[in-house]
Structure 1
């Protein structure tokens, strides 16, 4: 072997080693770029989630406020006056019989009907006529020419703890309907 071939081999070895180091550095740079892009996407998704969360909270607040306003409107619908009752019923006797109350005057009837405890009873037990019970436990009837359907449902004990009455069940189901219908679009 000549002395000239030995230094050439060292130069070639150093060149190969340098190429390998550059190759490793390039791969590390590419991996770093991928990691930066991935981190950026993750942060973008997190920002989108936070924005959606804020929007959902706003929607829930709006729905609750709407429910509260609707509840106020419903309770205001059942305010009776002497004039309204006299238009609805021919005599005090007819009105007393309809509401199943013992009173001595139109004024005392109005006072009893407008008490908070009686209002709750009216709202929960709206008078119905022409009831028929079908095989699937749906009660159908008409009140003031509006068709009404009620479904008899039996709650499991753990659910009944959360929803103690039909009003709470209906409120919860309406809320669920609104949330799912808004998010389905």
Structure 2
């Protein structure tokens, strides 16, 4: 080999090494760009989740406030009236489904509910010896003053602490039904 060819070979080797380093640097830059885009998408999704969470919390708070206001109105009067029911339900059909009653007008619904409320109050004021809460039994029974099938449920002690009577259990379950049905309809 002559003296001129040696430096040219070294120059070519350095040029190839430089090209390889540039190629690696380009790939690293592309990977960094991909990671930045992925991180941006993840942060965007997290922001959307936080926004949805806040909206859901606000909806639940609104439902609870509405229920508390309605319960306050009903408990103050101890009777139902057309205005209260119209505030709670969009249509007579919704109210009929909620209470599982067959009626043809708001007035007849109010009459049936108030009649049932006065009978329920009398029954609930009687001492109840069947409040044994150790077993998880469920049985169906017919109430003589109504043709509506009732369900007797024995609560576990920890649940019974939170729900002192059947009215509290029913209101809790109705609230849960409204929240889940509202969320189900919002997702469709």
| 1:25 to 1:154, Cα distance in 2 relative to 1, 3 A | same
Give the structure 2 partner of residue 71 of structure 1. 71
Kept after mapping to 2: 8 A contact 1:140/1:149 = yes
Give the drift of 1:34: 1.0
Give the structure 2 partner of residue 139 of structure 1. 142
State how far apart, in whole Å, the 1-side matches of 2:29 and 2:119 are: 71
| Per-residue deviation, residues 67-94 of structure 1 (Å, max 9, x unmatched) | 1222133222539xxxxxxxxxxxxxxx
- Within 5 Å, give how 1:76-91 maps onto structure 2: 76-78=77-79
**5+ residue gaps, structure 1:** 80-120, 128-134
SS in structure 2 at match of 1:137 = strand
Kept after mapping to 2: 8 A contact 1:140/1:148 = yes
State how far apart, in whole Å, the 1-side matches of 2:119 and 2:41 are: 53
**5+ residue gaps, structure 2:** 81-116, 124-137
Kept after mapping to 1: 8 A contact 2:142/2:150 = yes
Give the structure 1 partner of residue 24 of structure 2. 24
- Within 5 Å, give how 1:95-106 maps onto structure 2: none
Give the drift of 1:123: 7.6
| 1:8 to 1:159, Cα distance in 2 relative to 1, 3 A | same
Give the structure 1 partner of residue 3 of structure 2. 3
SS in structure 1 at match of 2:148 = strand
Higher relative contact order (CA 8 A, sep 6+): 2
Give the drift of 1:171: 2.0
Of the structure 1 ranges 7-16 and 164-173, higher mean CA displacement relative to structure 2 is found in: 164-173
Counterpart of 1:125 (choices 121, 125, 128) is 121
- Asked which structure has the greater CA Rg, the reply is 1
Give the structure 1 partner of residue 165 of structure 2. 165
SS in structure 2 at match of 1:155 = coil
- C-alpha RMSD of matched pairs (Å): 2.6
Give the drift of 1:27: 1.2
SS in structure 2 at match of 1:150 = strand
Give the drift of 1:148: 3.3
Kept after mapping to 2: 8 A contact 1:141/1:149 = no
State how far apart, in whole Å, the 2-side matches of 1:136 and 1:165 are: 17
